[in-house]
Chain A
Amino acid sequence: MPVFHFNISDGALEPDLRGTELPDLQTARREAIRLLGEVLRDNADVFWREGRLTLTVTDAKGLALVALETFSVEASSVRGPTRENS
């Protein structure tokens, strides 16, 4: 079975050194979404600090196959110094 590597980068690079054997890319896509959801669920504060999380699925040679991008968007009223309501 082919080996797929699931690399997460959220500011700190977390390479998947060992990879996982999966039957095909279809399965890898499914696993990637599940992994993304599970990692986001467990790391809310880390995500908001960085504002971005990328999950890249590569083959055994390191060739990127599919990637998932998660990024936050902030309204200008939210960004910058907070204003006191009078």
Chain B
Amino acid sequence: MLERLVEKLARRDALSASDRAALLALPRTESRVRKGEVLVEEGDRVSESTLLIDGLSARFKTFGDGRRQLLALHIAGDFVDLHSFLLKVMDHGVTALTDCRIVTTPHAALRRLTEDRPHLTRLLWLNTLLDAAILREWIAGLGRRPALGRAAHLICELAVRNEVVGLGSKRGFGLPLTQAELGDALGLSTVHVNRVVQQLRDGLIAWEGGRLTILDWDALVALGEFDPAYLYLEPEPR
């Protein structure tokens, strides 16, 4: 169940067999959450971290008028709130965008890992840094990318992230999101997303039944000015 997390980390640095085994042996509880369920609320004090095994979840903040900004999209293998291990109190919520399978692991177990295994600790630290790098890219995009470019960039990013954990490729991946949710991620009105998707459907993508097919990867990359450097795809001793 934690294999995808291991794959994700191993892409960035070699894990020793012992560290690999220690990760896979983390005490955990598996559960299912239904689409729309909030896994953690903003303001919650938590004593466990959640890993996504299957499905799509998102970090979010809401505003007084009910408007929502999604701050991250999680796919299988993403350690949804590893940072809560150190932050203790959540500054954002996490919601299931589809039916999800998750595992939760107690903070006490993560602490034991950090006490015995410095390299693995650095890799867990790296995992949160990867989240931060993606967030920086999102902020830059929200600030300056035009609508069409934001959508193209996100699609490229998700294709690459899915590829890392063996769930998709530059030819396509699962994206069971509504246009409203896409709008919440891209900082665009739902209607604008609808427009943008219609434009993208004109030769760049197909998006039906939750499946996003990429018809012209190069055009999408150019439109989104996508450079995967911020995803840190190359292994290096860390």
The answer to whether A binds B is yes
Binding site for B on A (CB under 8 A): 4, 6, 8, 14, 16-20, 22, 31-32, 34-35, 38-39, 41-43
Interface flags for B137-157 (1: CB within 8 Å of A; 0: not) read 000000000111000000000
Residue contact A17 to B198, C-beta cutoff 8 Å:
yes
CA distance in complex: A32, B194 (Å): 12
Q: Is the CB of B194 within 8 A of A34?
A: no
Measured between beta carbons, the chain B residues less than 8 angstroms from A6 are 191, 194-195
Chain A residues whose CB sits within 8 angstroms of the CB of B5 once the complex forms: none
Number of A-B contacts (CB under 8 A): 41
Interchain Cβ contacts under 8 Å between A and B, 18 examples: A6-B194, A6-B195, A17-B198, A18-B194, A18-B198, A20-B179, A20-B190, A34-B189, A34-B191, A34-B192, A35-B189, A38-B147, A38-B192, A39-B147, A41-B146, A42-B146, A42-B148, A43-B146
Besides A31-B190, A42-B147, 19 other A-B contacts (C-beta < 8 A): A4-B191, A6-B194, A8-B195, A14-B195, A18-B194, A19-B194, A20-B190, A22-B190, A32-B191, A34-B189, A34-B191, A35-B189, A35-B195, A38-B147, A38-B189, A39-B192, A41-B146, A42-B146, A43-B146
- Given known A20-B179, A38-B147, A42-B147, contact A31–B198 (CB-CB < 8 A): no
Secondary structure of the A side of the interface? mixed
Minimum C-beta distance from A66 to chain B (A) = 13
Interface of B is mostly: helix
Minimal Cβ-Cβ distance residue in B for A57: B191
Q: Are A35 and B192 in contact (CB under 8 A)?
A: yes
* Most chain B Cβ neighbours within 10 Å, of A18, A19, A38: A38
CB distance from A5 to the nearest CB of B (A): 10
Whole-angstrom CA separation of A16 from B197 in the bound complex? 11
Task: Decide: B189 and A16 in contact? CB cutoff 8 A.
Answer: no
* Complex interface residues of chain B between 173 and 203 (CB less than 8 A to chain A): 179, 188-192, 194-195, 198
